[in-house]
Structure 1
Amino acid sequence: MAGERALLLGRDAACQEIMSALGADPPGNVVIVGPAGAGRTRLAREALVLAERKGRSTRWAAGTRAAAGVPLGALAHLLPAIDTGADTLALLQQATRAIVGDGALTPRVLGVDDVHLLDPLSVTLLHQLAAGGAVSLVLTVRTGNAVQDPAAALWKDGLATRVELQPLQREDAELLIGRCVDGQVQTRTVERLWRLSAGNPLYLHELVEDGLRSGRLRRYEDLWSWVGEMVPSQRLTEIVLAHLGDLDADEWRAMQVLGTAGTCSVEQLVEFSSPDAVTALERRGTIEDDADGSGEVRVAHPLYTEVIRSLVPEAARQRTRRRLARDQAADGRDDHLLHRAVVLLDSGVTADSSPLLTAGARQAVAQLDLPLAERLARAAVDEGGGFPAYAALIEAVRWQGQPALAERLAAAAAPAATSDDDRGRLAAARALTLFCGLGQADQAEAVLREARTTVQDGEGRALLAAAEAMLAFLGGDPHRAVRRGMTVLSAPTGAASALAAAAVAAGLAVTGRAGQALTTAESGWLALDSHPDPAERIHTRVTLAQAEILALGLSGRFCRLEQRAAELHRQNLATAPEWIGDAIACVHRGWAALASGQPRVASRWLAEALPALEERDPIGLLPLCRSSLAASRALVGDVCGARRLIDGSQPACAGAIAVFDPLRRMAEAWVAAAEGRRGQAGVLVLEAAALAARQGQEAVEAVLLHDGLRLGQGPRIVDRLYQQAERLDAPFMADLAAHAAAAVAQSAEGLEEVSSRFEQTGALLLAADAATGAASAYEQRGERRAAAAARLRAATFARECGLTQGSALEVLPLPALTAREQEVARLASAGLSNQAIAGRLVVSVRTVETHLSHAYAKLGISSRADLRAMLPTAALARS
């Protein structure tokens, strides 16, 4: 039943359209159309349930192939008194009377499923009923496979409202999957299921159920994810084959070819089958033009492809691939190159195969199909592909989380690097692998030093300088990263420009020059797009994204920050298969949410990233992920979970990647605060800010100093925070300083003003803290109503952040209420009426009104809504 209810997700607009038609005066008719599995039947039944709730009687019938040969066969159970010997006109008159019934004021509702399977007489009857208006019809018709719509005349003539069911959007698919598993689902798993089902609710539901039965859909802590391939089950295969309908031998051969190849030209498909078969499949909508505009065709639904592929023997698939590859080799098209390389690899390489294998490996790297890239590149290396084959292999292995193997391959590739450009690329790749993957900072720097003695070419030396800039940033020296990287950007050259831009943008972000950082990142994206070689693109792309996220977050541009993090995440899901970039994108979203003051949202994303990064971490992002998750959990009250993360063993890269050490120490401070060690937390946050200052991370230092204010260190940080705000280019830094000054001075008006500015930038948790401080300042001045208003704002902001309280809200006393006032206030906030409260407390309604009036006056509020908003901030004050 839960699965059936889930199938209605995303159908709110359709339900509304149906009920509007049935509730019109006079009541109308509805025709629900959509492909197999779209949920037509479920929606029609729901329409009848809703009609019954409105007091209307309902009847139900369904067309079937078996009943189609009998006049009125599908409606026979609704027609008990019909004379089967009567002529056609008499039959229609008797059937109409039987269905219309006793002529009640409110017409009954007749639902008929699969009208396309009805006999002609039944269709004629439905048309007459619709025209007569004595019965409201809810009809369903399947689209696709050249099915005729016998109800088309109804909606074309204005006798019915046509409701066409569209595929589920991704968001609705995610909700459906989450309901099926009763939990949160990894985003890549959602993406895979949604794409394979193409938003078809039935297919999606069956895929999830099969994943649960087979154990491939598994729960890791609080997150469900799919492990392994998505192979259709026997049950789902039978459903799909039934939806495909009967295929003759030629049609089946055509489908087998497309199931094997994915796409091919119409001419090739005709050679494998026949012109009539291809025409018939196109007419039924079973195959369609490929979406990329290549002029080729594909199977219309991705699940059909998987089902057909699973039914074709491997030997037959190999024969098909070899024949297609021969044809594609003749046309020489680049978009067939990877396919030809795979076919060559599967069928056995030859002496002259290394160019094709190498080109295929490079293309697979560019498409982030890293396992395939590794297979092709290994074969290319074995066949003498030289340095280009090694470069693709090193990159594929590195990003699959094997840094030690990548380093060994790089050493083996050294003799093949015969040009300065090759030697510079190899040294840069080795340095990044040693530094980020293995945590060997000294060895990484030694590789670059040695390369500088031999590489003389300008582009090769520029790439070495860009790598040095990147290592400087990661090592906690952002100013040096900017200086070194700018030497490359001053004379742009090839791949080095994009990598240098990434390092410079990241360095500018943490040193408080956000505007320059974002401009530099934009130039880096442009340089990356114009760079033809995929081997150095991946690290650059990831770091450019990181630089943008840092710049937006540290400059307080929180609305744009969350938009950009979500945009980068969507781009990754849409353009790449499953890879470690999924986890990196989740870290970006988690850090963005934490910086914006949404620790619950941050926990969700960071918890998704953590297991993948613990398995493989090619850029050294695990320490940031772990510390950010610890801070998020501390802020939402999961003290034990936060402590486990802080005390966990550090990854190999932690010693080398020092740039995130201040944030890690800040996380330790929040965990200490959550454990009740507020004094130690204050010391830790000042240490974190001092470390950021020593590294030259002025923007990070300012943010950490402000966190010190939230942990009771206001007098010690306000002057330094003002100094930093004057130097840095973000208005957000001035807001942080103003907050500190107003808090130390206990200026209620100043705190309210800065709270409003935080609200405008999207920093709602900071807005809650400032509003709480304002409430406390008003309370000390005896301005109870102003205090209550500020407290209400604080509670509202905190609730929007997913919290019941902000850091300062914990210690804010509320005005004293008597025990009876507290009791009445709690019951009122729970939604009980005055009458219900009086009955529960055995007092008069007037007494309840009096107590509630006193509570409102003390709290400075005027409604139950305000009361509900205030109660989560803290316990109502003791009498």
Structure 2
Amino acid sequence: MDAVSLEWPLIGRDAELAVIGQAFADGRCGVVLRAAAGTGKSRLGREALAALERGGAMTEWVCATRSAATIPLGAFARLVPDTVRSDQAFDLLRSSAQALRARAQGRRIVVGVDDAQLLDAASAALVQHLATRSGVFVIATVRNGEPCPDAIVSLWKDCGAQPLELDHLDEPSMRTLVEAGLGGPAQEEVHRWVLDRSQGNPLYARELVLGAVESGRLLADHGLWRLTGRPSVAASLVELVGDRLRELTQAQRAPVELLALAEPLRLSEIELLTSYDALADAEAHGLIALDTRGQDVRLAHPLYGDVLRASMPGLRSRALRRRLADTLLERDPLAPGDALRIVRLLLDAGAPIPSPLLVDAARAANLAGDPELGAQLGELAVADGGGVDAVLALARANAIRGHFEAAEASLAAIESELPGHPSVVPYLEQRVRVLFWGLGDTEATRALLDRADAWCEGERWRRQLLALRMPTAVAADLAAAVVATEAALGDPDLDQETGRLLETRLAMALFYSGRWTESRALARRHCPEIPIRDYTGLMTLPAYRFAALESGADWPGLAADLARILGDAVRCRDYEAAAQAAVGLAALEFFGGRFNSAARWLSEAELHFAREDAFGLVGDVHLLRIGIAARTGDADGATRALERLRVIDGPGRPRPLSRQAYLARGEGWASCIRNPQQGAAELLTAAERFLADMPGFTALLAYDAVLAGASPVRVSALLADVAPRCEARLVDAYAAHADALARRDANALLAVADTFAAIGARLYAMHAAAQAARRFVADGRQDSARRAAARATELHEPGHGTAPPVIDGIDSVAVALTAREDQLVGLARQGLSNAEIADRLVLSVRTVETHLYRAMNKLGVGDRRDL
């Protein structure tokens, strides 16, 4: 990973550079870049100046400053001829222009003026003269919200200069900028922190990152930059942002300080704490903003709060926190999030916490990704007599932290209070999570649920217990558990909450059963909001991830869902959800053949799983690492990942029913590196073990076996048996691939490649296309072989640790398309004519025809329609 750069690249400004270049080509007198501080206008101006210089122009760059503005023409001292007296204004303007033209020697002249709003009147007049009467192209930058000389304003209002408003960078550009500056990929938490704090301001982003690296809070770890704690605000940012705050009076500063400690506040609340005039003043200074409904008040930029908190005297901070807590306590009703804010304010102020807040605040702390605070508040609530709800909040905090023995002790201590209690279902959910998944004690879980049978009465309770028994029931008899749950769901009197309990658990059972398309639909319907609030939601997310991936149903939709979940989870510090989303994205990248991207997401997932892993699913990370190592020839990497997978499969550890299949898959993949024949045999043997009860896993392992070289005839028969039982698009493609190999049907292999590519499994598509090419060679069909080989090369993802497939026996015609040929073939496939392609790419029709002819020859295509 490269060292962190102090000079960050220009990112996301291609459109603006193009506008400046076009204005220059059109003969305009200049461009005026207007933007807020830190948006990158100076950098853009310099880059544009450099680009025009490379094009042959003579360039000059002038920086206006407040100091230079005290001297007439101070900013232009270097460009003004010494022979002209400063009181001869007209001669001075004319001579300056003449001197520039003389130095240019016939070249066009470009003058950049940075922070033109700071120019003195004479300098501004010179800029206007150069732009309007001397043929000089001016690139001026102006900071929004500051007074500007009328001569500069007239450039874009009267003189024809192109005004260009520079917005903050969008999210994709900011992500690219951060990773370019860091010299490597960054954890999603890093991106979220930079995005939220900088609000798209490149300068702020740079200072945030450099400050965090310098303080040791931002570290490179296993190829990924990650945060090791909440970074303090860098001194450079205090200086940059503090300028806007230093000139405020205490009355103007008051509302900004209050918001720095507890935003958002209701308008009515902050008005009582300060005054309407102070609020209006702060708004006029651009320091605070109202939401769209005009009800809540926030800081105009989050860094204002960081700077104020860092510089606020301790006693004043404590006093303001007490006032804010008292104000928030007046809210009726008091939301759980309000309770947490009040408690944090009181803790920071060293004040006592009212008892009624403790349970709600403990729950809210757990949901906010702060189980340490959740445990602290939960213990206080239990000691204060908070009862069952207090114990549940404490147990959840301990379970999140992996303190399962402590969680079980506190839950077991109140078991006698649960019969007939309103929180009986959340209690059992929490305890099943601790006993079954945390401690791996199946017998204790069964015994608990047997005792619970007598805790309540009625059909509803029996249905709820059926749902709660699912982990142990699935482990004992998967088929019977599915039948019983489906029967219960057929009850027309089933209430909504009991139906949710049953359907979410059925989704996972259906996944184990190989009914992946049904499982996906059911799990997606109940996909939880982030942060995940209960055990049921915690179980639903992996069910959706597993089933959506293995079914091959709408992978683009899955990718979009996972990206959204990851962003939301990181923002609210729901590490379990973040881990599930990241490992799902890694799997999609893996099956797309993008192994470097997959490895990046696996590092992300492992960091989150280290903080919370309810079901021991970090094993999925290790499995995919084995897969990457197997496909990139990294035997040592595969061995290391396999050992880690074996360790988490030990006794007393969470063991999902899928683990045995995935462990067999990892063993087989690792064996394939050293001995493909042995690996194929291991995978095929493992596949047959799951045939009766879990046909989906049979499909996975059998397909892996045929890719490793197992008998296509044998695998085809196996997949033909399980595919109808799975009714999944991806399994159907596995079966079609094995069948085409068994029949030695090259055309069918090529069709399978297209099916895999349409799903998003480019890795499998590439294998199928390469096998089609080899089959065409064996059949003596050179043109078709070249076409299939070119398709395989097209499906290969370069730069991810693997080489394109090698096809022996193809004649000397190169099969790889050039970048231009590939571009033209893509447009032709869209149905564009040669003339339309030529018009779009600004090429001659003859050039298009020549490139397409060569491409079709390489692809073995004789008719344009076959593209």
Q: Which category of TM-score, normalised to the shorter sequence, fits these structures?
A: 0.7 to 0.9
Q: Find the residue that maps to 1:73 and give its secondary structure.
A: coil
Amino acid at match of 1:58: T
Deviates more, 1:407-416 or 1:436-445: 407-416
Q: Find the residue that maps to 2:797 and give its secondary structure.
A: helix
1:179 and 2:174 correspond: no
Q: Find the residue that maps to 1:799 and give its secondary structure.
A: coil
Superposition pairs for residues 233-382 of structure 1, below 5 Å?
Answer: 233-242=234-243, 244=245, 246-266=247-267, 268-269=269-270, 275-290=276-291, 293=293, 295-332=295-332, 334=334, 336-345=338-347, 353-382=354-383
Superposition pairs for residues 771-850 of structure 1, below 5 Å?
Answer: 771-799=769-797, 802=800, 804-805=802-803, 809=805, 812-815=807-810
What's the counterpart of residue 837 of structure 1? none
User: Structure 1 residues 264, 148: closer, same or farther in 2, change over 3 A?
Assistant: farther
1:565 and 2:566 correspond: no
User: Structure 1 residues 760, 402: closer, same or farther in 2, change over 3 A?
Assistant: same
What's the counterpart of residue 577 of structure 2? 581
CA displacement, residues 289-337 of structure 1 (integer Å, 9 cap, x when unaligned): 247x572222221122112111113432221121122223234254544
User: How far apart, in 1, do the equivalents of 2:24 and 2:696 lie?
Assistant: 61
Amino acid at match of 2:769: A
> Once the 2 structures are TM-superposed, how far is the Cα of residue 266 of structure 1 from its aligned partner?
4.5
What's the counterpart of residue 671 of structure 2? 672
Amino acid at match of 2:795: F
User: Structure 1 residues 183, 348: closer, same or farther in 2, change over 3 A?
Assistant: closer
User: Structure 1 residues 536, 43: closer, same or farther in 2, change over 3 A?
Assistant: closer
> Once the 2 structures are TM-superposed, how far is the Cα of residue 460 of structure 1 from its aligned partner?
5.0
Q: Find the residue that maps to 2:796 and give its secondary structure.
A: helix
- TM-score (normalised: structure 2): 0.86
Q: 1:506 aligns with which of 505, 508, 511?
A: 508
User: How far apart, in 2, do the equivalents of 1:476 and 1:72 lie?
Assistant: 88
CA displacement, residues 415-464 of structure 1 (integer Å, 9 cap, x when unaligned): 55363442332122111122222222222222222212323366554443
> Once the 2 structures are TM-superposed, how far is the Cα of residue 168 of structure 1 from its aligned partner?
2.3
Q: Find the residue that maps to 1:79 and give its secondary structure.
A: coil
> Once the 2 structures are TM-superposed, how far is the Cα of residue 128 of structure 1 from its aligned partner?
3.7
> Once the 2 structures are TM-superposed, how far is the Cα of residue 110 of structure 1 from its aligned partner?
0.9
Question: How many equivalent residue pairs?
Answer: 818
What's the counterpart of residue 846 of structure 2? none
Amino acid at match of 2:390: A
User: How far apart, in 2, do the equivalents of 1:516 and 1:112 lie?
Assistant: 64
Q: Find the residue that maps to 1:86 and give its secondary structure.
A: coil
User: How far apart, in 2, do the equivalents of 1:767 and 1:682 lie?
Assistant: 19
Q: Find the residue that maps to 1:77 and give its secondary structure.
A: coil
Verify the 8 A CA contact 1:478 1:510 in the aligned structure 2. Answer: no
User: How far apart, in 2, do the equivalents of 1:411 and 1:260 lie?
Assistant: 40
Q: Find the residue that maps to 1:185 and give its secondary structure.
A: coil
Verify the 8 A CA contact 1:631 1:642 in the aligned structure 2. Answer: yes
User: Structure 1 residues 416, 169: closer, same or farther in 2, change over 3 A?
Assistant: farther
1:123 and 2:124 correspond: yes
> Once the 2 structures are TM-superposed, how far is the Cα of residue 370 of structure 1 from its aligned partner?
3.5
Verify the 8 A CA contact 2:9 2:180 in the aligned structure 1. Answer: no
> Once the 2 structures are TM-superposed, how far is the Cα of residue 88 of structure 1 from its aligned partner?
5.0
Q: Find the residue that maps to 1:219 and give its secondary structure.
A: strand
Verify the 8 A CA contact 1:582 1:609 in the aligned structure 2. Answer: yes
User: Structure 1 residues 628, 446: closer, same or farther in 2, change over 3 A?
Assistant: farther
Verify the 8 A CA contact 1:610 1:626 in the aligned structure 2. Answer: no
1:650 and 2:652 correspond: no
User: Structure 1 residues 486, 548: closer, same or farther in 2, change over 3 A?
Assistant: farther
1:31 and 2:28 correspond: no
Identity of aligned residues (%): 28
What's the counterpart of residue 137 of structure 2? 136
Verify the 8 A CA contact 1:345 1:379 in the aligned structure 2. Answer: no
> Once the 2 structures are TM-superposed, how far is the Cα of residue 209 of structure 1 from its aligned partner?
1.6
What's the counterpart of residue 838 of structure 2? none
User: How far apart, in 2, do the equivalents of 1:11 and 1:536 lie?
Assistant: 38
1:202 and 2:198 correspond: no
> Once the 2 structures are TM-superposed, how far is the Cα of residue 549 of structure 1 from its aligned partner?
2.2
Q: Find the residue that maps to 1:669 and give its secondary structure.
A: helix
What's the counterpart of residue 759 of structure 2? 761
What's the counterpart of residue 162 of structure 1? 163
User: How far apart, in 2, do the equivalents of 1:802 and 1:618 lie?
Assistant: 32
Amino acid at match of 1:665: A
Q: Let me know the Cα RMSD of the aligned residues.
A: 3.5
What's the counterpart of residue 12 of structure 1? 14
> Once the 2 structures are TM-superposed, how far is the Cα of residue 472 of structure 1 from its aligned partner?
4.3
Verify the 8 A CA contact 2:283 2:289 in the aligned structure 1. Answer: yes
What's the counterpart of residue 732 of structure 2? 734
CA displacement, residues 333-362 of structure 1 (integer Å, 9 cap, x when unaligned): 5454432233355567879x3322222333
Amino acid at match of 1:760: A
Amino acid at match of 2:706: L
User: Structure 1 residues 674, 243: closer, same or farther in 2, change over 3 A?
Assistant: farther
What's the counterpart of residue 708 of structure 2? 711
CA displacement, residues 188-231 of structure 1 (integer Å, 9 cap, x when unaligned): 12211221122211121122222222222112221111101110
Q: Find the residue that maps to 1:139 and give its secondary structure.
A: strand
User: Structure 1 residues 231, 179: closer, same or farther in 2, change over 3 A?
Assistant: same
Verify the 8 A CA contact 2:57 2:108 in the aligned structure 1. Answer: yes
Verify the 8 A CA contact 1:482 1:504 in the aligned structure 2. Answer: no
Verify the 8 A CA contact 1:251 1:277 in the aligned structure 2. Answer: yes
- TM-score (normalised: structure 1): 0.85
Superposition pairs for residues 360-759 of structure 1, below 5 Å?
Answer: 360-417=361-418, 419-456=420-457, 460-473=461-474, 477=478, 480-481=481-482, 483-484=484-485, 487=488, 490=491, 491-493=493-495, 495-525=497-527, 537-557=533-553, 558-574=555-571, 576-577=572-573, 579-614=575-610, 616-648=612-644, 649-651=646-648, 654=653, 656-675=655-674, 677-694=675-692, 696-713=693-710, 714-759=712-757
User: How far apart, in 2, do the equivalents of 1:476 and 1:5 lie?
Assistant: 62
User: Structure 1 residues 655, 368: closer, same or farther in 2, change over 3 A?
Assistant: closer
Amino acid at match of 1:728: C
CA displacement, residues 561-617 of structure 1 (integer Å, 9 cap, x when unaligned): 33333233233234x126343222211212333345544432221232224434642
1:42 and 2:39 correspond: no
Deviates more, 1:153-162 or 1:711-720: 153-162
User: Structure 1 residues 236, 868: closer, same or farther in 2, change over 3 A?
Assistant: farther
Amino acid at match of 2:559: E
User: How far apart, in 2, do the equivalents of 1:523 and 1:137 lie?
Assistant: 58
> Once the 2 structures are TM-superposed, how far is the Cα of residue 726 of structure 1 from its aligned partner?
2.8
User: Structure 1 residues 565, 327: closer, same or farther in 2, change over 3 A?
Assistant: closer
Verify the 8 A CA contact 2:69 2:119 in the aligned structure 1. Answer: yes
Q: Find the residue that maps to 2:62 and give its secondary structure.
A: strand
Q: What are structure 1's unaligned runs of at least 5 residues?
A: 832-860, 870-879
Verify the 8 A CA contact 1:198 1:301 in the aligned structure 2. Answer: yes
User: Structure 1 residues 426, 2: closer, same or farther in 2, change over 3 A?
Assistant: closer
CA displacement, residues 509-535 of structure 1 (integer Å, 9 cap, x when unaligned): 34343443233224424xx67xxxx99
> Once the 2 structures are TM-superposed, how far is the Cα of residue 96 of structure 1 from its aligned partner?
4.8
Amino acid at match of 2:626: A
User: How far apart, in 2, do the equivalents of 1:127 and 1:547 lie?
Assistant: 66
User: Structure 1 residues 365, 461: closer, same or farther in 2, change over 3 A?
Assistant: farther
> Once the 2 structures are TM-superposed, how far is the Cα of residue 281 of structure 1 from its aligned partner?
2.4
CA displacement, residues 261-298 of structure 1 (integer Å, 9 cap, x when unaligned): 2333445545555555433321221222247x572222
Amino acid at match of 1:709: V
Q: What are structure 2's unaligned runs of at least 5 residues?
A: 821-851, 861-867
Q: Find the residue that maps to 2:468 and give its secondary structure.
A: helix
